[in-house]
Chains A and B, each alone.
Chain A
Amino acid sequence: MATTTFTETMVTSSSRAVPWWRSPGFVRPVVLLVIAVAVLVAGRIFSAGLPSWGAAEAIVTQSLFVAVLAFGQGLVMLIGGLDLSIPGVIALSATTVALWTSAFKGDALTGVLIALACSALVGLIDGFLIARFQIPAFIVTLAMGGVLTGLTIGVTFGRTAPPSPAAIVLLFSGSGKLFGVGIPVVVFILVGIIGYFIQSRSTWGRRVYLFGSSPAASRLSGVPVRRVEISVYVVGALASGIAGIMLLGFSGNAQLSLGDEWMMPAIAAVLVGGTVIGSGYGFWQSTLMSCVLLTTITVVIQATGFSQGWKNVLYGVVVLLALLLMRRGTGRSPMRLLQNRIRRTAGGN
């Protein structure tokens, strides 16, 4: 049973049977991008200032933070987990860099490396607990998030947020320009390319897909499953750590609440991008474009001028609609998914 699902998934995700320009890995991100542009143009109804290059640049800048988080979250969700430690890791990594450069007068690069090492360690502990003791990922990561926030408060003594080094501000605040556009826009493109190669073109990426679609099958084919599972949490936490450093540059100082607002958009982006939790089915390029779409939607909703409550309602409704549409697009009804899941669970892992 498990093998059947696995084969099905491999066929759709590697999509050898159809030409590349008709494969879901190409069609979906293009559709998402077209919708995003259409939404931005439709923003004209609410504000004469839309659409504009300035707006597009602001959208891509904010999409960058969501995208980096969604990359990590997407991998974790591919293998059936959920990472709720994102705000904690963001606070930890931003505070580490800021404290290192302000209180200890260290250089920014070393600070970044220390922060990334700490983030990776967090992912390692998460992954170990989840893989070794089979504790549900969302519980482990939720607890870890609490521990990290507590630690960060302890280290900073609840004092004022330490400031970001100037170089990181220049990179991510949008004030620095490269090729005539904000540096975050360039970074967004780089993140897109790097993410694609890691998730879809590397051996490690293929192993993650394989593990996500069927842990049993991947064990049979000689993949070191536990190591793969742990490594996904390490990469996920690293992504959060990188996002933390970017947000540090964006905000200019390492507040404890820096990451609070970014976890849910990242989860939404993964789902709207069409990744099916725990199925080994999903495309980084769709996730990337759904980050752009969701950010565009928030900008246009902002432009409606509705009161905050109605904006929240509208955003929720739009995300739900998007999710439903994506489900139809994959040809997988929620019912069929449920059946597949049950079958796989029955097959054991």
Chain B
Amino acid sequence: MRSRTGRGLALLAAAGALVLALAGCSGSGGGGTGGDASGCVPSGGHAPRAGGDKYIVYMNALNIGNAWQEEAANLGVSVASMEPYSKCVEVRKELTDGDAQAQISQVQSMVAAGADAIVMYALSPTALNAAFRDACQQGVTVISYDATVTEPCVYNVSYLTSIPQGSTHPFMGYNSMTALAKLIGGKGGISYAHGVVGTSTDNIHYNSAMAALKNYPDIKVLTEYEGKWSSSVQQAESAKVLASFPNITGMWCAYGESGCIKSLKAAGKEIPVTGETSNYFREQLLAGWPGASIGSPPAQGGIGMKVALAVLLEGAKGIPLDIEVPYKIVTAENVKVCDKDTYTDGCNVFPPGKVGDEETADIFNEMLPESSLSASQTGKPAAGMTATPYTADYLSKYEQDPSRRYVTREACPDGWKKATLPEGVEGCAKG
């Protein structure tokens, strides 16, 4: 922490010097086109790196034909295109086709193209560290949303370690497994569908889910399989599971849970399922299917963008580097149709048939009231929608608890040491 503050101060000083130098330039030129003229440059902040009168902000997502990624990217782009940001910011969408290696060169070219902030879906928690560090040193604000990175200068904006509303425990895996256990009455045989085996996110889900199961000794995991965060893979694999275990009493499914439901329907079974946030799944909950829907909200793309713009336009002072995005557990009891296409507190499913199976109402989040269905589909803000910038005070309410720092940074804050959390995941303990 201390060293980070030191580096931050050095960066601030460097940025300040740069502003002074640029101000001098524009003064001697006699023009008024500097960032200051528009009132965009915060006190202590730096003028746009590329030299124009707008900051250049990159919004990155993965180009894998996955609704989630597209929604996240569109929300990020749309919020940056709203007043009051639009007069200070030029947003560019950049998709990643390849792997972490491809992302490294993307980061380098964004920095070279004059990026002032990069909002990134990082494919690896560590592989991009050097590229990110280099970007930070050149005065670029870097945000990693949903997927976290260990590089200390990058802001992590993620639901990964958040405590969902209505629960006292963090971690999606822990909460969804607890929900499943309750739904099946604390006994029986279940299946566990991984996402992509070996990724850090999948490990966290799995370890915390298994820790939750320790409270329910009468539940047996009959089989685990790899669903690859794809509903078509989940469907084929879960159909095999149902063939092998006709007496199964519950299914824990990672993203792509609509595949689990579809294979259950084909087999003529209705048993409790926990899965992520797809509209298809929530439509089933709406129709009374026993289950719990809990998972990663694509609103994180827009939230990540707003954090980047807060750092850029309000200054970094007081904004936590580790931000936990809030999310909810949706069950047959609290599933509620969204009547409007804009944010309404408490609604969590679009009317059946309105959106695609894999789209989700979790484009809405208390941290992103600027969200709308059209924005998530097109990247253009809903008509007349303006943004409410974050303040440091507001964001500090969402600062990550230090005990969960190890999960995202692979390091503990000063004065804390590594320890296993009650939810079965490596975290930090005081002392």
Contacts and interface: CB of A to CB of B under 8 A. Distances in A.
> Are A and B physically bound partners?
yes
B67 A161 contact: yes
Contacts of A348: none
Contact of A247 (B232, B241, B243): B232
Given A251-B231, A251-B262, A159 B358 contact: no
Nearest to A95: B65
Interface stretch (B42-50, B78-86, B222-230): B222-230
B199 interface: no
B356 A162 contact: yes
A48 B197 contact: no
A54 B357 contact: no
Q: How large is the interface on B (under 10, 10 to 19, 20 to 34, 35 or more residues)?
A: 35 or more
A42 to B, nearest CB: 12
Given A62-B236, A250-B235, A257-B232, A49 B244 contact: yes
A341 to B, nearest CB: 35
Contact of A160 (B67, B224, B233, B265): B67
Interface in B60-75: 63-67, 69-70
A43 B197 CA distance: 25
Nearest to B221: A305
Contacts of A174: 239, 266-267
A58 B223 contact: no
Nearest to A47: B244
A308 B241 contact: no
Contacts of B237: 302
B359 interface: yes
Given A160-B355, A162-B356, A252-B357, A299 B243 contact: yes
B223 A303 contact: yes
Nearest to A182: B266
A153 B63 contact: yes
A307 to B, nearest CB: 6
Given A50-B244, A58-B243, A302-B241, A255 B63 contact: no
A73 interface: no
Given A160-B355, A308-B224, A58 B239 contact: yes
Nearest to B65: A256
Interface string B240-269: 111111110000000000110010011100
Given A62-B239, A158-B70, 20 more contacts: A49-B246, A55-B244, A58-B242, A156-B65, A160-B70, A160-B356, A162-B356, A174-B239, A174-B267, A175-B266, A247-B232, A252-B357, A253-B356, A255-B230, A256-B65, A298-B240, A302-B244, A308-B224, A308-B226, A309-B197
Interface of A: 43, 46-50, 52, 54-55, 58-59, 61-62, 152-153, 156, 158-163, 173-175, 182, 247, 250-253, 255-258, 260-261, 298-300, 302-305, 307-309, 311
